[in-house]
Amino acid sequence: MQGYVTKKDILIAFEKNEFKTYIQPKYNIYTKEVIGGEALVRWFHEKKGRINSEIFIPILEKLKLVDRVDLFIFEEVCKSLSTWKKQGLKTIPISVNLSKMTLNDLGNISKLKNILYKYEIPIELIELEITESLMSVNIEVINKIKAEGFKLAMDDFGKGYSSLANLKNLPIDVMKIDKEFLVDLEENEKGKVILKAIVDLIHIIKKEVVIEGVENEQQL
């Protein structure tokens, strides 16, 4: 059940800690080892049940509250990494998405660094994800984030219109290929050729590759 979501619902959700963070694992396709994770946010409303991010994120953006969720997720990730470390568990790099609103405020970079210091998390364990469409718009902020030492990933690569000439110059470390490229991949020879060409290109410009939405062995 989801129903209509109001501003009041969202403000109460912050007060009652109804937003929850989950880690989606990233696997090495050759070793099958978990090599990292991506932080995802879910909202569990006490009456309306689980509300999909596709519904509440646009509302948060409209209400200018999405940066608050970004910072919340970032801190929850740092808390988890700190807990794993204290328990003697293996720590893996976790990626966190940043919205346009968060990027538009340079002060948020300092807030991210302060959270890292608070939980004593090495910056190497955090990867910041920015959508392809925001890469060129917020280049000043992106350069500053990179200068601070954060690892940067371009999210949803292939959905936007980044020129190949610009890709090699962007200060990014990882390129995440959009899951749309996997649709009907087993039966689509052209799709396989295109995907392979994209992966090869990314390797040529010496970036890491992550493919979203892999669900079975055949897609590998």
Closest alpha carbon to 18 in 47, 60, 39: 47
Measure the CA–CA gap between 211 and 78, rounded to whole angstroms: 24
pTM attached to this predicted model: 0.85
- Would you state the pLDDT for residue 160? 58
- Would you state the pLDDT for residue 120? 96
Closest alpha carbon to 154 in 180, 135, 179: 135
What is the per-residue pLDDT across 16-48, written as a single tens digit (0 to 9) for each?
A: 999 999 999 998 888 889 999 999 999 998 888
End-to-end CA distance of the chain: 35
The answer as to CATH 3.20.20.450 being correct for domain 65-219 is: yes
Closest alpha carbon to 148 in 171, 175, 118: 171
Question: Percent helix, strand, coil in the chain (nearest 5)?
Answer: 45, 20, 30
CB atoms closer than 10 angstroms to residue 132: 21
What is the per-residue pLDDT across 172-212, written as a single tens digit (0 to 9) for each?
A: 898 888 777 666 656 667 767 877 877 888 888 788 888 77
Domain chopping of the chain, boundaries? 65-219
